[in-house]
C-alpha cells in the first residue's frame, strides 16, 4: 500500500509540476524591454524617434470586454477613408509595428496602433496567443468604425501572434474588415507548441500537452483547440494576403501554406526568400512592398 501511495504521489507531483511550469511559461512569457525594442528598431532604421513624435497622433484608451484597458494611437494625416490596424507579435509592442506603419503612411493610409493585453501600455494579466486578443481586436475595430464611419476601407495587418489574432478575429461571424494581411502566423496552437517542445526541449508532446491543456483551461479559461486559425480560416470571405519567410524555423512556413490552401478566394501568398521569424519585411523590403502594392491594387 505504501508503495502505491508513493507512486501516486510521484504521478501527482509530476502532473502539477508540468502543468504549472508549462502554463506559466505560456501565460507570463518574458517580454522584451522598451529599451531592447527601441534599440533594435532604431538600429535597423525602422524607428526614428524624432520623426515618429512629429506625426499627428491621438492617444486612446478602450475597455476590453475582459475588464482591462487597451492603449493605442491613431495617426490620421489624410482626409480619406482608408485606415489600417496593426497587431504586433508576442513579447513586443506597438513600436514593433512602426516599420509596417511607415509603409502604409507612404501610401496615404491612416493608421491605428495598439498594444495587445499584457504588452506595452495595455493592461491584462496573461497572454493568450490570440484567444482573448481577438475580442480586444474586435473592440478596436468597432471603436475605429464609430470614430471614422462604417463606410471606411479598413485593413488589418498582423505579425506572428498578431497574425493569429487577425485570422481568429476574421474567422468570427462578423468578418468586419475590408482585407487582412497575416505575416508568419501559426495554423494551430497545439501543433506549434508540440513542434517547439521537440525542437527546444527534445520532449515528446504526449508527456506534456495533455497535462498542460488541462491546466491552461483551469488557469486561464481556454484550451489549445480554441487557438487554431486553420479551423476558422474557411469562414473568412474577405481578401487575405498570407506572408511567411521560407527560412523561418520558429513557425514553419508550411503553416501559412496550410492556411492559404484552406482559405477560399480572394487570397494571395508571398513566401519571402530571406529572413528568420517575423523578418520577411526586414530582409526583403522592396519585394515586400511590391507584394503589398499588388495586393491592394487587386482588391481595390
* Mean per-residue pLDDT pooled into runs of 10, the chain (300 residues): 55 66 95 96 95 95 98 94 98 97 97 98 98 98 96 98 98 87 98 95 87 95 98 96 98 98 97 98 98 94
Chain centre distance of CA 7 = 42
Backbone angles phi, psi at 241, to 5 degrees: -100, 115
Q: Would you tell me how many other CB atoms lie within 10 Å of the CB of residue 76? A: 17
Name all contacts of 99-103 with Cβ < 8 Å and 24+ positions apart. 99/41, 99/44, 99/46, 99/47, 99/281, 99/282, 100/157, 100/159, 100/281, 101/75, 102/46, 103/281, 103/288, 103/289, 103/292
Where along the chain do its domains lie? 1-28+189-224, 48-188+227-299
Tell me the longest C-alpha to C-alpha distance in the chain. Answer: 78
For the stretch 121-144, what's the b/e string if a residue is b when 16 or more beta carbons lie within 10 angstroms of its beta carbon?
A: ebbbebbbbbbbbbbbbbbbbebb
In angstroms, the CA 134 to CA 168 distance is 6
DSSP 8-state symbol, 108: T
In angstroms, the CA 131 to CA 46 distance is 29
Contact 87, 68 (CB under 8 A): no
Q: Would you tell me how many other CB atoms lie within 10 Å of the CB of residue 46? A: 20
Measured N-to-C along each axis, helices 161-170 and 133-148 cross at an angle, to the nearest 10 degrees, of: 70
Q: Which three cell numbers stand for residue 30?
A: 518574458
pLDDT score for 167: 98
Helix (H, G, I), strand (E, B) or coil at 154: strand
- Tell me the residue length of the chain: 300
288 sits in which H/E element: helix 285-299
- Regarding the domain delimited by 48-188+227-299, which CATH topology (the fold level of the hierarchy) does it fall under? Rossmann fold (3.40.50)
In angstroms, the CA 93 to CA 121 distance is 8
Name all contacts of 190-199 with Cβ < 8 Å and 24+ positions apart. 190/224, 190/225, 190/228, 191/255, 192/251, 192/255, 193/26, 193/224, 195/252, 196/250, 199/249
Q: Which of 8, 1, 26 is nearest to 208 (CA)?
A: 26
121 sits in which H/E element: none
What pTM did the predictor assign? 0.95
Amino acid at each position: 500500500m505504501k508503495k502505491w501511495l508513493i507512486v501516486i504521489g510521484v504521478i501527482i507531483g509530476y502532473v502539477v509540476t508540468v502543468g504549472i511550469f508549462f502554463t506559466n511559461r505560456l501565460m507570463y512569457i518574458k517580454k522584451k524591454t522598451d529599451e531592447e525594442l527601441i534599440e533594435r528598431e532604431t538600429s535597423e532604421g525602422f524607428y526614428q524617434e524624432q520623426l515618429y513624435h512629429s506625426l499627428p497622433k491621438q492617444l486612446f484608451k478602450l475597455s476590453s470586454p475582459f475588464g482591462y484597458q487597451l492603449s493605442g494611437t491613431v495617426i490620421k494625416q489624410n482626409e480619406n477613408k482608408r485606415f489600417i490596424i496593426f497587431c504586433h507579435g508576442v513579447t513586443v509592442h506597438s513600436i514593433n509595428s512602426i516599420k509596417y506603419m511607415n509603409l502604409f503612411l507612404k501610401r496615404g493610409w491612416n493608421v491605428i496602433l495598439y498594444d495587445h493585453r499584457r504588452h506595452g501600455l495595455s493592461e491584462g494579466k496573461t497572454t493568450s496567443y490570440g484567444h482573448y486578443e481577438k475580442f480586444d481586436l474586435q473592440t478596436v475595430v468597432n471603436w475605429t468604425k464609430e470614430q471614422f464611419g462604417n463606410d471606411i476601407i479598413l485593413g488589418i495587418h498582423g505579425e506572428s501572434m498578431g497574425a493569429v489574432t487577425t485570422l481568429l478575429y476574421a474567422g468570427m461571424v462578423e468578418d468586419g474588415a475590408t482585407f487582412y494581411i497575416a505575416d508568419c502566423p501559426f495554423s494551430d496552437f497545439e501543433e506549434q507548441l508540440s513542434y517547439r517542445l521537440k525542437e527546444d526541449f527534445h520532449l515528446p508532446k504526449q508527456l506534456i500537452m495533455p497535462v498542460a491543456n488541462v491546466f491552461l483551461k483551469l488557469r486561464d479559461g481556454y484550451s489549445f483547440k480554441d487557438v487554431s486559425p486553420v479551423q476558422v480560416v474557411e469562414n473568412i470571405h474577405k481578401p487575405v494576403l498570407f506572408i511567411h519567410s521560407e527560412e523561418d524555423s520558429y513557425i514553419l512556413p508550411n503553416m501559412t501554406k496550410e492556411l492559404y490552401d484552406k482559405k477560399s478566394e480572394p487570397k494571395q501568398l508571398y513566401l519571402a526568400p530571406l529572413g528568420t521569424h517575423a523578418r520577411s519585411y526586414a530582409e526583403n523590403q522592396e519585394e515586400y512592398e511590391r507584394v503589398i502594392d499588388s495586393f491592394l491594387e487587386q482588391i481595390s
